[in-house]
Amino acid sequence: MKLNDKDIKSLSSRTVVYCLGIYINPGMRRLLLEYLKIAAPRYKAVHVAFCYWWQGIDREPFVDMVNSLGVKNLSAREFTIMASPAYGRKLGWKGANWFNALNSTFREIRRMADFFGEIEADIVHIILTEYQAHYAFAKAARMAKVPARLLSFTGVAPTNPRFRGFVNKITDKNLSGVLLASSADSSGAREYFPTAFQSIVHGWGLAPDLFRLENVNPGRIRKEFNLGDNSRFIGTTTRIAPLKGQETLIRALPEVLKHFPELKVAILG
């Protein structure tokens, strides 16, 4: 179901945050900058939160580029979390190193939550993230009491295959606990849900062939997030290949509607 004019106009009173946590290639950087310039006037305010997953990596110029656009209601901010404690153990961290990494990560998640609360975020889009960044953003959004019905995910896919089996088993468990999503289908050819975590309600993957939608408990989700029958959900398609994203959305939506037949969907991007 498409949003009507009243729904579109209501966006002007919303504050939206786009959460990023991946190296952005020059082409995607230009595309995102153009999109933000167009999107910003449609909202009350637009913020970009960029999360580094390691303190020693090169800084991404995208944040400075956003701030240099000079758009009145558009700004960007950086956050840095340590590599996941689980990955730290794989690196051989012990004792103080592991404890300090864990504390540092939780402090930064708290800082993220304070940021979401400070700007009074209405909509949080977690896009183009990898490793533990999507979990950190999701946890921070819950801590800040961001309206869960306006929390969306798109393309949280690690680019390095050697991390998928180890890190994402941990992330699957943690993120499912945060969002009460169903467990991912890890038995397919493409392993673990972040590979196809394409933007649908509360941590559902848009690709039904890679996600066990039959495990979703609609009643539990409604109760946890205090959702009424007329709750509105937002899906996004922000893949580099838009047509592929739209095809995935069209294929998956009938599966989602089996659980929420009254679902209202806005396609953004």
Per-domain residue ranges for the chain?
5-268
CA 208 to CA 248: how far, in whole Å?
9
Cβ atoms of 164 and 109 within 8 Å: the answer is no
pLDDT of 56: 58
pLDDT of 121: 84
pLDDT of 179: 36
Across the chain, which has 269 residues, the per-10-residue mean pLDDT values are 46 80 69 81 87 68 86 88 57 57 76 89 71 71 68 46 40 39 30 31 32 44 49 43 53 62 51
CA distances to 14, 47, 102, 178, 257 from 237, in Å: 20, 19, 33, 23, 18
Cβ atoms of 109 and 140 within 8 Å: the answer is yes
Phi and psi dihedrals of 135, rounded to 5?
A: -65, -45
CA distances to 17, 44, 53, 133 from 20, in Å: 10, 20, 11, 8
pLDDT of 189: 24
HEC sequence for the chain: CCCCHHHHHHHHHCEEEEEEECCCCHHHHHHHHHHHHHHHHHCCEEEEEEEECCCCCCCCCHHHHHHCCCCCCEEEEEEECCCCHHHHHHCCCCHHHHHHHHHHHHHHHHHHHHHHHHCCCCEEEEEEECCCHHHHHHHHHHHCCCCHHHEEEECCCCCCHHHHHHHHHHHHHHHHHHHCCCCECCCCCCCCHHHHCCCCHHHCCCCHHHECHHHCCHHHHHHHHCCCCCCEEEEECCCCCHHHHHHHHHHHHHHHHHHCCCCEEEEEC
pLDDT of 89: 54
Cβ atoms of 174 and 135 within 8 Å: the answer is yes
pLDDT of 54: 63
pLDDT of 94: 56
Which of 202, 9, 17 has its CA nearest to residue 118?
Answer: 17
Residue 267 CB coordination number (10 Å): 16
